[in-house]
Amino acid sequence: MKKHLYLIRHGETLFNQRKKIQGWCDSPLTKKGIEQAQAAALLIKDINFDHYYSSTSERCCDTLEIITNHQVPYVRLKQLKERNFGYLEACDEDLVKNNSKGHFFDDVYTMFGGEYYHEVQERMVNILTSIMNKEDHHTVLAVSHGASSFAFLSSFVDVNTIVAQGGIPNCAIVHITYEDGKFALQEIIKPNI
């Protein structure tokens, strides 16, 4: 049976706006971030979700609560958290840039106590597979983060495809199907805000 996962990145935060590295540290949604969550809610209003999940980060919980109008119970999971950037958390983004091949500097982040890319990918794949393998989970909404969602998607999609579609901006809705133990990207829907 084909199941559906809607993986949503949280709305814009103060650190996103100020170009700060934001992993396990947190910052509040901006006015724009709240509006993005409201716009995302309109895009998925006709979908009947049977289960809801969020990263334990406040920015994700707030995004989910706005999208659902504070009307549904949901489960918070640490495994859906953003990549841990170690001591580089809250530093300016321009301190660490991606290399020309678009890969993250694993050695830099881990030298400062952060996670390896493959560790983020593994925990995201494990938790989302566990969620989608549950008998009564047919249409699931999960709110997570940009880098961790990208790591998850790169386990079954060519990263160039994701980049060519504009990446995963704030409140992007990534529609993924799950069937016979395999994930497949259907589309990335972006609120027009």
Residues with catalytic roles? 10, 82
88: amino acid identity, one letter = L
> Maximum Cα–Cα distance for the chain, whole Å?
46
Instruction: Report the SS3 class of residue 80.
Output: helix
Distances (CA, A) of 180 to 12, 99, 101, 177, 183: 35, 36, 32, 10, 9
Distances (CA, A) of 138 to 3, 116, 153: 5, 31, 19
